[in-house]
Amino acid sequence: MATLRGDVGGLELENPVMLAAGILGTTGASLRRAALAGAGAVVTKSIGIEPRDGHPGPGIVHLGVGLLNAMGLPNPSYREFQEEIDIGRTGGSPVVASIFGSSPEEFVEVAGGLDADAFELNLSCPHAQGYGAEIGCHPGDVEEITRAVVREKSVPVWVKLTPNVADIVALGLSAERGGATAVVAINTIKAMAIDVESGYPILGNRVGGLSGPAIKPVAVRCVYDLHSALSIPVIGVGGISCWQDAVEMIMAGASGVQVGSALSGGLDILKSISNGISRYLDRKGMALADLSGLAGRQR
Q: Please pick, from the candidates 1, 5, 56, 112, the single residue that binds another protein as defined by CB under 8 A.
A: 56
- The answer to whether the beta carbons of residues 9 and 233 sit under 8 Å apart is yes
- Is 137 tagged catalytic? no
CA atoms within a 13 Å half-sphere pointing along the CA-CB vector of 10:
19
Per residue in 187-218, is it b (16+ CB within 10 Å) or e — as a string?
bbbebeeeeeeeeebbbbbeebbbbbbbbbeb
We find the least distance from the C-beta atom of residue 152 to another protein, in angstroms, to be: 24
Total binding residues for another protein by CB under 8 A? 47
Binding to another protein by CB under 8 A, coded x per residue (else -) over 217-246, reads: ------------------------------
Q: Which of 54/276 has CB closer to another protein?
A: 54
Cβ distance 3 to 83 under 8 Å?
Answer: no
Beta bridge partners of residue 60, listed in sequence order:
69
Q: Site map for another protein, 169-198, x if CB under 8 A?
A: ------------------------x-x-xx
With CB under 8 A as the contact rule, the residue among 94, 208, 256, 260 that binds another protein is 260
Strands (E), 46-87: 60-62, 67-69
237: helix, strand or coil: strand
Dihedral sign computed on CA atoms, order 62, 68, 74, 78: positive
* Contacts of another protein in 78-117 (CB under 8 A): 80, 87
Q: Could you tell me which stretch among 54-62, 131-139, 142-150, 272-280 binds another protein (CB under 8 A)? A: 54-62
Which of 1, 3, 5, 200 touches another protein (CB under 8 A)? 200
**One of 2, 7, 10, 29 touching another protein (CB under 8 A):** 29
Which is nearest to 246 in space by CA: 220, 212, 211, 224? 220
Please tell me the total number of residues recorded for the chain in this structure.
Answer: 299
Q: Is 45 in the site for another protein (CB under 8 A)?
A: yes
Of 10 and 204, nearer to another protein (C-beta) is 204
User: What positions carry a catalytic annotation?
Assistant: 125
